[in-house]
Amino acid sequence: MLSSLSRLTRPQAIALCALPVVALLAVAGFAPLPFAVAQPGGTADVLGKYEGKPVLKITGAPTRDTKGELRMTTIVATGPQMDVRLGDVIDGWFRTDRAVMPKEAVYPVGDNEKEVEEHNLGDMKESQDDATKAALAYLKANGVDGTDKVKVDADLGKIGGPSAGLFLSLGIIDKLDGDGSGGDLTGGRTIAGTGTIKADGKVGPVGGVAMKTQGAWRDGAKVFLVPKAECGDAQAELPKGMKLIPITTLSGTVDALRALEKGEKVPSC
């Protein structure tokens, strides 16, 4: 082989040696890779309707008519059984409205689409329960009467996962008590964001915040509530003119929204 190469010109030798690499890349271009490609998904106003149905149904206490919007955000990703090729990965890396993530980070329960959907809906149900507990505990701690009789049903269709928890809590608080002084928690604005919630009111991180800020901006939000630990990720592709407010607890989030409404200083990333 070496004697054969020695009789070739330099360009011919380089071309010959490159053939296996070209062949390998060609095969890689058609081989499925263990990645998922995500992009901004839809948003839903928890104070309004989703797919024609009220997101929040509250019984046991009078509710307020609200102004403004509280928009929970989502991402959409290639399905667990969908093949992602090298070209898709390269395209995703170079686009600001796409993100390439390991498939196991998006679908930790495997490739069965039905199991994935059931898992995500289970997470959503648990998140709804924690969101209700956190909101009612907050209201009770702040002197709002009658919370013991309140029941909440949340309906976001087939949207799964726990990342709407914070906004479900905020929606319950706004519908029952507003900003606590007769006004709206939103101040009439379109507020978007994301974050898990625990029954004790602690806000946790989620995934895909850079994609979610873009979806929020597309749907009219100029303020985005983000778990503090994910400020850096949210700033990566932040739309120009969007305000980020870092949050860690439900009570701190309400305080920040009140300050925003009054034109006072609010936390920033």
- Which tokens go with 19? 């053939």
Q: Give whole-number Cα distances, 247 to 79, 159, 216, in Å.
A: 31, 23, 17
Predicted local confidence at residue 160, as pLDDT: 85
- How many CB atoms are located within 10 Å of the residue 158 CB? 9
Residues ≥6 apart with Cβ < 8 Å to 162 = 123, 124, 126, 127, 196, 206
Q: Give whole-number Cα distances, 214 to 125, 145, 245, in Å.
A: 26, 39, 15
Q: Are residues 234 and 213 in contact, defined by beta-carbon separation less than 8 angstroms?
A: yes
- Which tokens go with 267? 């936390």
What is the three-class DSSP state of 44?
A: strand
Q: What's 242's DSSP letter? A: P
Q: Does residue 80 or residue 10 have the better pLDDT?
A: 80
199-236 pLDDT per residue, tens: 999 999 998 899 999 999 999 999 999 999 999 999 98
Closest to 219 measured CA to CA, from 98, 40, 92: 40
Residues ≥6 apart with Cβ < 8 Å to 148 = 140
Instruction: Tell me the average pLDDT across 91-95.
Output: 66
Q: What's 72's DSSP letter? A: E
Residue 27, pLDDT > 70, answer no
Confidence of residue 1 (pLDDT cuts 50, 70, 90): very low
Strand partners, 192: 71, 224
CA 242 to CA 257: how far, in whole Å?
A: 15
Residue 184, pLDDT > 60, answer yes
What's the CATH number for 39-75+110-262?
A: 3.30.230.10
Predicted local confidence at residue 260, as pLDDT: 97
123-143 pLDDT per residue, tens: 888 999 999 999 999 999 999
Instruction: Tell me the average pLDDT across 174-181.
Output: 97
Residue 30, pLDDT > 70, answer no
Least confident of 19-28, 121-130, 234-243: 19-28
Average pLDDT, the chain: 85
CA 93 to CA 40: how far, in whole Å?
A: 15
